[in-house]
Structure 1
Amino acid sequence: MAWNIGANDVANAMGTSVGSGALTIRQAVLTAAVLEFSGALLMGTHVTSTMQNGILVANVFQGKETLLFAGLLSSLAAAGTWLQVASYFGWPVSTTHCIIGSMVGFGLVYGGPGAVFWSSLARVTSSWVISPLMGAMVSFLVYKFIRRFVYSAPNPGQAAATAAPMAVFVGVTGISFAAFPLSKVFPLALAQAVASGAVGAFLVDRIIRKQLGHLLVKASSAQSEPKENATHSKNIGLLSDFAGPKGTQLEIVYGVFGYMQILSACFMSFAHGGNDVSNAIGPLAAALSILHGGASGAEIVIPVDVLAWGGFGIVAGLMMWGYRVIATIGKKITELTPTRGFAAEFAAASVVLVASKLGLPISATHTLVGAVMGVGFARGLNSVRAETVREIVVSWAVTIPVGAIFAVFYTWILTKLLSYIL
């Protein structure tokens, strides 16, 4: 299951970076490998507790631990099977949909309606609708902000270099506060997060100005030229998002946001690892507790090595098959540039990270697709390829029932085998 999460879902983190040209496929795979594993290991427990205790009512299976054990393993196998098929064809389906659909299918058939936490399920399913809307809204606003304060600025290149550290400050502060709070006291934790954000912003500012220093000097000297040339430079900034490379200004903007998109891809990759490792580890942790004689419904301690195996599986799937779905996310929804890709990734990562902190297993796929669409809508409705979006939405709808059917079938086989062995 974790292998297929890596093969299918990690495109959510790196697809836009590859599509815009900010990263090569090899660079994306290596970068995601480190960040996905770190997110799974450091943040995986938040959502995993929801996945292991918040979907099925374990008490319904009191005295039927073998059946519950078989159902949990079958749910993992069912979700993994469908993801294997989807990854092969390059379909970006929701791993969260798949595992929850599998568990609910098993629960309904073998435990009845009372075996499912319907209130918890409603909370989860509502997030599937909310997350793409939030992703689209945030990415729309971020991209509009870039167009207003960067492309429309008198010196777009200088404006991009100024805006980048601000975005890093917001992102690093958010990650530090949500994922690595150094204190349990709110004011102190916030102060430490702000300090981390300030350090990150300073470092990025130094890197950008060092790497693009000669271009920034060239752009600044252009501002001292006659007014008509300055006006022309401004027009280049306004039109550059719709056209090919036009001079130093666009070169700086794309250079700055190329760096920024790499950072946002890391942000998204870390957040994804923390959220979606639960799709593999939650049912597994519950199954392991049954093997060790854990009481039904009791709090389950998730071993660090189990989280590590989940992270390792995600990395393995990413490195072997991740390129298939990355092509769909990065190239087939809308045309991406470094600025558009940054807006989509930054928005999606923010939504996913907040959801991970709240223990809400949202679909990273829904969030990113919504964010990419939001960037497209900011440029006009015709900028989004409706056919591709329609195919993706259909694959989402099919995922839940397919997972449920596979889970019921695998549970039937596994219970027969276990009864024969035992």
Structure 2
Amino acid sequence: MEASLLGLIVVVALALAFDFINGFHDTANAIATSVATKVLTPAQAIAMAAILNVVGALMGTAVAKTISKDIVPQEYATLELVGAALVSAIFWNLFTWWKGLPSSSSHALIFSLVGAGVAAGGWGIIIPKGVEKTITGLLTSPVLGFLVPIVLMFILSWVVLRRMRPRAVTRNFRWLQIFSAAFMAFSHGGNDAQKTMGIITFALAAYYNTTIEIVPLWVILSAAAAMGAGTALGGWRIIKTMGFKVVDLKPVDGFVAETSAALIIETASRLGIPVSTTHTISSSIMGVGTTKGFKKVKWQVAGRIVQAWIFTIPVCIALGWLCFQIAELFN
């Protein structure tokens, strides 16, 4: 087997490993609130999330094209560059999972790719438009994630909740939260699995030394399957942080947080913007919490989450750069 083909196989395996880890790292995004409110058992929630992650991943490739074409030009693609970005992102994912911090797998991958790209060709090869699109998603998704559930909760309170008894609210929204959790899982698969599709397509461009405009079907199917398998494994450390340590949630709170986050993520996916599902749902949970009063949110835990968000960008740029330098030593 020729060395370049072996290198491609290794890189694709790394990409699918990243996708798998992304699945269990980000399982909490889709199911933490429904587990916390006891609307679904952990087993039920994980099974539903795994299936809908796969379905969502099959629904489009706009985000994948952003990753494969708009961060580093495909003419600069090398297997060493892609491999370095993936090793960096996997390391950061596993570290934050170990610490129980819901960091962004999406931004870990993108800014690891930036770091490896800088190591390969300097800042001049980085495409500003793609990075700006990513940063736009990074900044706007948590802001919208915080504000939209506040507005939605206000509307629900005025139109529906004030006319219902507390027991009826809990009973009705237990059922509605199952649908919102499903929508969240679907939108998570649609945005997050596409990052892996994009990075594999980028690797294929490096191997064939050409520009690839369309994401191959086998790439779409394999990324969807890896995401679903990882989700099925679950990520209990982060589920505990997201579902139980930020704010005490009721079914109506979970419904509002999940619906708000899923709408934001799904809109971003259609626009080709790689947002962080972690940032979005975390902010939505905090937003819902503030409707109960600022003291109801455990801001110390929320602060740890924000710290993970802030550190992801510089750490992953540095890690991507370092991993590429190490790869070059063995080239």
Q: Same fold (TM over 0.5)?
A: yes
Q: 2:20 aligned with 1:3, yes or no? A: yes
The counterpart of 1:320, out of the listed 230, 233, 258, is 233
The answer on whether the counterparts of 1:58 and 1:115 sit within 8 Å (CA) in structure 2 is: no
- The residue matched to 1:395 in structure 2 has which SS? helix
Q: 2:72 aligned with 1:56, yes or no? A: yes
- The residue matched to 1:42 in structure 2 has which SS? coil
Q: Identity across aligned pairs (percent)? A: 32
> Which residue of structure 1 aligns with residue 180 of structure 2?
264
Within 5 A, what are the aligned runs for 1:375-390?
Answer: 375-390=288-303
How far apart are 1:263 and its partner, in Å?
0.4
The answer on whether the counterparts of 1:38 and 1:273 sit within 8 Å (CA) in structure 2 is: yes
> Which residue of structure 2 aligns with residue 345 of structure 1?
258
The counterpart of 1:82, out of the listed 84, 92, 97, is 92
Distance 1:136 1:406 in 2: 30
Q: 2:251 aligned with 1:335, yes or no? A: no
The answer on whether the counterparts of 1:7 and 1:87 sit within 8 Å (CA) in structure 2 is: no
Query: Number of residue pairs matched?
Result: 314
Distance 1:415 1:288 in 2: 19
> Which residue of structure 1 aligns with residue 139 of structure 2?
129
Distance 1:381 1:134 in 2: 18
The answer on whether the counterparts of 2:147 and 2:287 sit within 8 Å (CA) in structure 1 is: yes
Distance 2:139 2:327 in 1: 34
Letter in 2 for 1:18: V
The answer on whether the counterparts of 2:74 and 2:206 sit within 8 Å (CA) in structure 1 is: no
Instruction: Return the TM-score normalized by structure 2.
Output: 0.90
The answer on whether the counterparts of 2:55 and 2:186 sit within 8 Å (CA) in structure 1 is: yes
- The residue matched to 2:221 in structure 1 has which SS? helix
Q: 2:191 aligned with 1:275, yes or no? A: yes
- The residue matched to 1:361 in structure 2 has which SS? coil
Structure 2, unaligned runs of 5 or more: 1-17
4+ residue runs over 4 A deviation: none
> Which residue of structure 2 aligns with residue 177 of structure 1?
none
The change in CA–CA distance for 1:299 and 1:58 in structure 2 (over 3 A counts) is closer
Instruction: Return the TM-score normalized by structure 1.
Output: 0.72
Q: 2:123 aligned with 1:113, yes or no? A: yes
Within 5 A, what are the aligned runs for 1:23-422?
Answer: 23-43=40-60, 45-59=61-75, 61=76, 68-153=78-163, 156=164, 237=165, 240=166, 250=167, 252-291=168-207, 293-295=208-210, 298-417=211-330, 419=331
Distance 1:146 1:301 in 2: 42
Structure 1, unaligned runs of 5 or more: 157-236, 241-249
Distance 1:372 1:355 in 2: 19
How far apart are 1:344 and its partner, in Å?
0.4
Distance 2:156 2:38 in 1: 19
String of CA shifts for 1:326-385, please: whole Å, max 9, x gaps: 111111111100000000000000000011011111111111111111111112111211
The answer on whether the counterparts of 2:34 and 2:251 sit within 8 Å (CA) in structure 1 is: yes
How far apart are 1:278 and its partner, in Å?
2.2
Distance 2:323 2:84 in 1: 5
- The residue matched to 2:58 in structure 1 has which SS? helix
The answer on whether the counterparts of 2:258 and 2:281 sit within 8 Å (CA) in structure 1 is: yes
Distance 1:257 1:111 in 2: 53
> Which residue of structure 2 aligns with residue 221 of structure 1?
none
How far apart are 1:294 and its partner, in Å?
4.0
The structure that has the greater radius of gyration is 1
The answer on whether the counterparts of 1:73 and 1:284 sit within 8 Å (CA) in structure 2 is: no
- Computed over aligned residues only, the root mean square deviation of the Cα atoms, in angstroms, reads 1.5
Distance 2:200 2:324 in 1: 15
Distance 1:262 1:23 in 2: 7
